[in-house]
Amino acid sequence: MISELRRYRIKPGRIESWLRFFVEAADEQQRLGIRVEYVGVDMETNTFTWVRSFDDEGARRSLKDEFYGSAWWQERESVAMDHVLGYDVTFLDAALVRGDRGELMAPPWPAPGAPAGSEGDEPPDGWTMSTNRAWVPIGPTTGEGKTP
C-alpha cells in the first residue's frame, strides 16, 4: 500500500468553504476506490492536511487519472484551486498497516512494484513546481551518509 500525505495552505477566510468542498471531493474519490484515510486542519495557519491511500503505484496513477479526468473534477477544479495558496505532497510506502482485527502488521517489504510516487505527478493547470526540493542519495545507505 502507498499513501500520499498532502498539505495545503488555504487562503485566509476560506477554510470553511474549503472544508465544505472537500467533503464532496473525498466522497467522490472514495466512490472511485481512493481511500481517504485522514483529514485534519490547523486553524492558526490555515493548513489542511490529508492522507489518501492506494494499493500500489499503478492503482495510484490510474485512480488519480480517473478522478482528475472526471466531469465532477473538471466542473470544480478552478473553484477548488482558487482556495489554495500552495501545497506539497509526500509519497509514502506503507511500513505498518492495520489487519482485519485492528492489529498493526508489516506488509511485504520492500513493497512490491514501483515505489510510491515514482511515476510523478503533473501540477494543476496554471501551477508549477516550486524550487524547493528534497535530495536523497542514490541507492541504499549505511546510515553514515555513504553508499556501501
Residue 80 has pLDDT above 70, yes or no: yes
From the options 3.30.70.100, 3.50.50.60, 3.40.640.10, 3.40.50.300, give the CATH code of 2-105.
3.30.70.100
Give the mean pLDDT of 70-84. Answer: 95
Residue 148 has pLDDT above 60, yes or no: no
pLDDT tens for residues 81-108?
A: 999 999 999 988 888 878 888 888 887 6
d(CA 26, CA 52): 9
| DSSP one-letter code for 43 | T
Domain boundaries, the chain: 2-105
How do beta strands 35-42 and 84-93 pair? unpaired
pLDDT tens for residues 30-65?
A: 999 999 999 999 999 999 999 999 988 889 999 999
Q: Is residue 83 a contact partner of residue 45, using CB atoms and an 8 Å limit?
A: no
Q: Is pLDDT larger for residue 116 or for residue 146?
A: 116
Backbone angles phi, psi at 4, to 5 degrees: -115, 120
C-alpha pair distances (Å), 1 with each of 14, 15, 87, 103, 120 = 33, 30, 23, 16, 17
d(CA 7, CA 130): 14
Q: What is the pLDDT of residue 147?
A: 44
DSSP element (H, E) containing 47 = strand 47-54
Q: What is the pLDDT of residue 82?
A: 93
